[in-house]
Structure 1
């Protein structure tokens, strides 16, 4: 199965799951909790406040060597936006990729996504845990705070 087929399939519409594809085209589904969605919304609100030159996007599908991965919250530059023309997925990652952890996520899975997004051009990768604690990462490792958005808090209330 490819990403276009997933998006077009009526049986897969309106499911309460985040969907991704692995290398074999198999669907991987993760349930979204209320807190996951709340943290996603709060992060988007803060990004819109602090970074007005970019577009904040939810659920952004990225083509990786391990299939389609979906960034929970991403930050796209204007030059990245011009590269998207009726695309069903992107061949690049947003400059900032944020994952909000769900109970079903593992640290190994997040390490893998971080690696895949950096390969596709991300400049930073953030993780929001289930308590709202933020972790910031650059290509060379963990950061004390974001270099892209220095005023972003280390904890989401």
Structure 2
């Protein structure tokens, strides 16, 4: 769906300005994929993600989507806007809009035609050379603060997985998992992923 234009089109907003809102975001017309974190613009890499990144994200989304058939929760794959309001859901009061590689939303009341407003239950980010700092620092913080119950950080090249689980408002990390381990989700009950089998198909 084409973004609603709430202001005059701005092709290149000032990246040094750190007080943008979702209302501003809706008015931008940029070739690059951008995310808004606490009012500051973050551009994703200009080039398309690597083939392995896309294959892994696509395969994992397929696994989740098949598992969730007939269940309450729904899985979405990027590009998909997730708005993370702090106090107000008004466009001009929302200062964080991200596009996780994959997310699962169980409270369907959070979904609208523009994406998701509020924290998904599960967020999965696939690391690539161009996005590691963004995922490891800035997104970790906003996912934790906004109440994302579970955050998977998957390294396509290293074939590893870390799971962060929200406990008492803070993330607790699993050990680093790899082939031979089975990832088990607490946010998406009963979903399991055999990493040896999963990564064996990623070539």
5 Å matches for 1:22-33? Answer: 22-24=37-39, 26-31=40-45, 32-33=48-49
TM-score by length of 1: 0.75
Q: Deviation at 1:94?
A: 0.8
Separation of aligned partners in 2, 1:108 and 1:7? 22
Higher RCO (Cα < 8 Å, 6 or more apart): 1
**Structure 2 stretches lacking a partner, 5+ long:** 1-19, 87-94, 176-182
Larger Rg: 2
> Any conservation in 2 of the 1:93–1:122 contact (CA below 8 Å)?
yes
Separation of aligned partners in 2, 1:22 and 1:122? 15
Q: Structure 1's 114 and 6: CA in aligned 2 closer, same or farther, altered over 3 A? A: same
The alignment covers a number of residue pairs equal to 149
Secondary structure at 1:134 match in 2: strand
5 Å matches for 1:1-157? Answer: 1-9=20-28, 11-12=29-30, 15=31, 17-24=32-39, 26-31=40-45, 32-33=48-49, 34-52=51-69, 53=71, 54-59=73-78, 60=80, 61-63=82-84, 67-77=96-106, 80-87=107-114, 90=117, 92-106=118-132, 109-131=135-157, 132-139=159-166, 140-143=171-174, 145-148=183-186, 149-154=190-195, 155-156=198-199, 157=202
Q: Deviation at 1:67?
A: 2.6
Secondary structure at 2:192 match in 1: coil
TM-score by length of 2: 0.61
**Structure 1 stretches lacking a partner, 5+ long:** none
Q: Structure 1's 115 and 64: CA in aligned 2 closer, same or farther, altered over 3 A? A: farther
Secondary structure at 1:44 match in 2: helix
Bigger CA drift: 117-126 or 59-68? 59-68
CA RMSD in angstroms, aligned pairs only = 2.7
